């Protein structure tokens, strides 16, 4: 346990990614990473045994909207050589989920006792990376203006393209977009394919298998937002849905909302 005082979100909003990771590693930040280190890629992290790594690589390649790849580690190395070479994936995420045989069996604060020499980590893009873009464009998404709000995620009826042992539904992240800003949001998000790009679906949630917005699978149920249009974006939690659907013997992921802060600026269009 850290002997240093906890930090609040505002202290980390304009911090560097390394400062956010240091706060996480020291136990000074244990919450979600919305509005953190604005302007840098936040990454979903999926860790699988080496024997399943090629299948998961193909799963990413076949489902690029859900899994825009930022980096892949060498077996046994907990270091993202391209995305954040000085970071440690065992300690620099504020919460992790452990899945075994299709069941989430634990949620832990670090992987010091869990990491093995056959583990391979995949870092994929996240639309929380666009918080800075949305703030600059004055798009009032609830999670950007209310501390209590966080995007909701849902299993959809859109199937992923399977690869080896991996299959399952695409998970979508919901945003209530003010109707006059809809075209602007679509244009802005579409410029950033490494952050899932533009929406997968706009409009009636029932058309993609979501019967009740209040019954989200991950995140926080959204409050009613009059005058908005439902927008749904691909989400990296699709990996966790695949763990549940495929019954893979082991998968370790970031806990939903607790992303890994990379050193990669979203403004760098040479990535990917």
- What pLDDT is recorded for position 272? 62
Strand order in the sheet with 169-178: 153-159, 169-178, 228-234, 201-202
Could you tell me the pTM of the whole model? 0.95
> What's the pLDDT at 3?
62
- CATH class of segment(s) 41-128+244-263: alpha beta
The token duo for 247 is 């019954």
Cβ contacts of 138 within 8 Å, gap of 6 or more: none
Residues of the chain with CATH 3.30.2040.10: 131-238
Q: Which fold has domain 131-238?
A: PSTPO5379-like fold (3.30.2040)
Q: Name residue, tokens 């930090």.
A: 7
- Say how far apart CA 153 and CA 156 lie, in whole Å: 9
Whether residue 44 contacts residue 126, with contact meaning beta carbons closer than 8 Å, is answered with: yes
In the chain, CATH 3.40.1640.10 sits at 41-128+244-263
Q: What is the mean pLDDT of each successive set of 10 residues along the chain, which is 272 residues long?
A: 79 96 97 95 98 98 98 98 97 98 97 98 97 94 88 97 98 96 97 97 98 96 94 97 96 97 90 67
**In sequence order, which residues have a C-beta less than 8 Å from that of residue 234 and are 6 or more positions away?**
65, 66, 170, 171, 172, 173, 196, 197, 200
Cα–Cα distance between 150 and 52 in angstroms, integer?
32
CA Rg value for the chain = 17
């Amino acid at each position: 346990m850290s002997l240093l005082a906890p930090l609040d979100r505002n202290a980390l909003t304009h911090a560097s990614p390394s400062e956010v990771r240091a706060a996480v590693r020291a136990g000074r930040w244990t919450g979600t990473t919305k509005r953190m280190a604005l302007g840098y890629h936040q990454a979903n992290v999926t860790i699988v045994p080496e024997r399943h790594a090629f299948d998961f690589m193909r799963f990413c390649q076949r489902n690029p909207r859900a899994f825009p790849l930022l980096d892949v580690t060498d077996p046994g190395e907990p270091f993202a050589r391209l995305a954040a070479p000085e970071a440690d994936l065992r300690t620099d995420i504020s919460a992790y989920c452990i899945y075994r045989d299709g069941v989430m069996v634990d949620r832990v604060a670090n992987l010091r006792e869990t990491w093995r020499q056959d583990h391979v980590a995949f870092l994929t893009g996240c639309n929380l990376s666009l918080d800075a873009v949305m703030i600059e464009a004055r798009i009032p998404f609830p999670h950007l203006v209310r501390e209590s709000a966080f995007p909701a995620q849902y299993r959809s009826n859109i199937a992923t393209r399977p690869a080896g042992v991996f299959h399952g539904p695409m998970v979508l992240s919901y945003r209530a977009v003010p109707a006059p800003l809809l075209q602007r949001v679509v244009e802005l998000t579409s410029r950033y394919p490494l952050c899932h790009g533009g929406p997968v679906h706009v409009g009636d949630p029932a058309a993609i298998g979501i019967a009740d917005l209040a019954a989200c699978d991950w995140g926080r149920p959204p409050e009613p937002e009059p005058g908005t249009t439902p927008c749904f974006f691909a989400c990296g939690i699709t990996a966790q849905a695949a763990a549940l659907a495929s019954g893979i013997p082991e998968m370790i992921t970031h806990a939903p909302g607790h992303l890994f802060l990379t050193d990669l600026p979203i403004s760098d269009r040479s990535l990917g």
